[in-house]
Structure 1
């Protein structure tokens, strides 16, 4: 489909990249599953965490589209999906305001989570929004200096899973916490976040390997550009291994055989 045939609605869908939303929802589902198993499930905080995660993902997508076009990283030679700012489908100012509006909505949702989870949610929320912007924006974009993989691993894995569990467990604690009570952040939540972190990062690894040559030509130093094809494949395999090893670790401890269900996806 040429850009002349794209409607405005289709262009905004391209900018929002709904195909990336499962990666944002998955860690929230994992954290909610843990809370359910621990008897800490709280439906409203869980729903708010999901909506907030989806909004941050969409806001990050808008930010990437806008800043990559502005910096010249996106070009006609780039493979993959159409970038609406670079292709002229949507004016840069509109994409920028969409980014601001989406992040503002995520902060609005976050105010409820702050009421439930206290100061730790303020830190998590502001850090997540800032990282979403700074991945492609700012004077030193994380994605252009080899830190994109770390950003995804931390915020779309560790933070998303443990944060989702925390806001549900914190709902059972009286008062507004200034720091996470010990019972709201168990080691199991941290370990369970690793597969989500690994698989989310692998999505970026695949994209960066695909874009390696065009990124290098544009001066973007993604981790794939820095370590090359061979070590990017090693990174992918190590992260995939982590995603399958963690369920086995859970099974060998106190959890039932259902935790082995992810092994059904082994090739």
Structure 2
């Protein structure tokens, strides 16, 4: 039976910035539109974090029963290691998804955006279908699209909409930026796993691109995320604050380009998660300062 510490490790806490960053940006975009609602922001955060944990447990379960994680390099996987039974990990995933849907339902009731019920169901189905089911799209190289859409566009714009009842160009660009960084995190993870994924028949985007091109794509995603918001400089001059995240990108980019040992890429996951948090805070400060200070 897995210990509490192993369950926490299996939840992959280093990936949670993917869930937190969109809520920070989406809430700042709502503030810039003149309609920040703290309770709605907290509920959106709960939805995002619980969805992320649900996806992580679902991935652990599905890859574990398929044998994909049998010889992987990286942190503990509950199912593959035998620390927890497959059914227990699957049920933990379902419980996380259920709690996310419950928090989302409260948010929908408060905001009156009933059409978001369909979005919530789509999020859960997509989260499970990433590596679950008979035809998991994560094995076809489409996992990166899922991350960009749901942990970038949907999470950020949904947060803004449930507070302001509308979205803005700033919200969209912030959603694109955090989505690209989330994609970069997934790319770093998948570059590390290229040899074992090929052996398991898992054709991630990293496998399809090949080792060298996949590593370069990581750097390009970070660069696009940082420089894309500069479109807003004339309207929101404080958005230039996002450039302060550039130094934090140097080490993980160097490791991705030069770190040929698979284990050397493990720290990149945590570093990329922290980049996403830093990006979200700086982007949000740019919106708030531009709205209040001009």
The two structures share one fold, judged by TM-score above 0.5: yes
CA distance in 2, matches of 1:187, 1:129: 27
Structure 2 residue aligned with 1:254: 235
Q: Cα deviations across residues 19-75 of structure 1 (Å, max 9, x unaligned)? A: 211121001100001111221101111110000000000000110000000111111
The alignment partner of 1:139 has SS state of coil
Structure 2 residue aligned with 1:200: 182
CA distance in 2, matches of 1:234, 1:122: 38
The alignment partner of 1:207 has SS state of helix
Contact 1:142 1:151 in 2 (8 A): no
Two-structure CA RMSD over aligned residues (Å): 1.4
How far off its partner does 1:140 sit? 1.4
Structure 1 residue aligned with 2:93: 99
Matched, 1:79 2:59: no
Matched, 1:219 2:201: yes
After the TM superposition, which residues 16-165 of structure 1 pair with which residues of structure 2 at under 5 Å, given as runs? 16-75=11-70, 77-115=71-109, 116-165=111-160
The alignment partner of 1:140 has SS state of coil
What TM-score, normalized by structure 1, do the two folds share? 0.88
Structure 1 residue aligned with 2:244: 264
Gaps (5+ residues) in structure 2? 248-294
Runs of 4+, deviation exceeding 6 Å: none
CA distance in 1, matches of 2:122, 2:172: 18
Name whichever of 14-23 and 114-123 sits farther off: 114-123
The alignment partner of 2:16 has SS state of helix
After the TM superposition, which residues 178-193 of structure 1 pair with which residues of structure 2 at under 5 Å, given as runs? 184-193=166-175
CA distance in 1, matches of 2:91, 2:108: 25
- Where relative contact order (Cα < 8 A, 6+ residues apart) is larger, the structure is 2
The alignment partner of 1:266 has SS state of helix
How far off its partner does 1:188 sit? 2.5
Structure 2 residue aligned with 1:243: 225
Contact 1:157 1:198 in 2 (8 A): yes
CA distance in 2, matches of 1:231, 1:198: 16
Contact 1:149 1:223 in 2 (8 A): yes
How many residues align? The count is 246
Structure 1 residue aligned with 2:191: 209
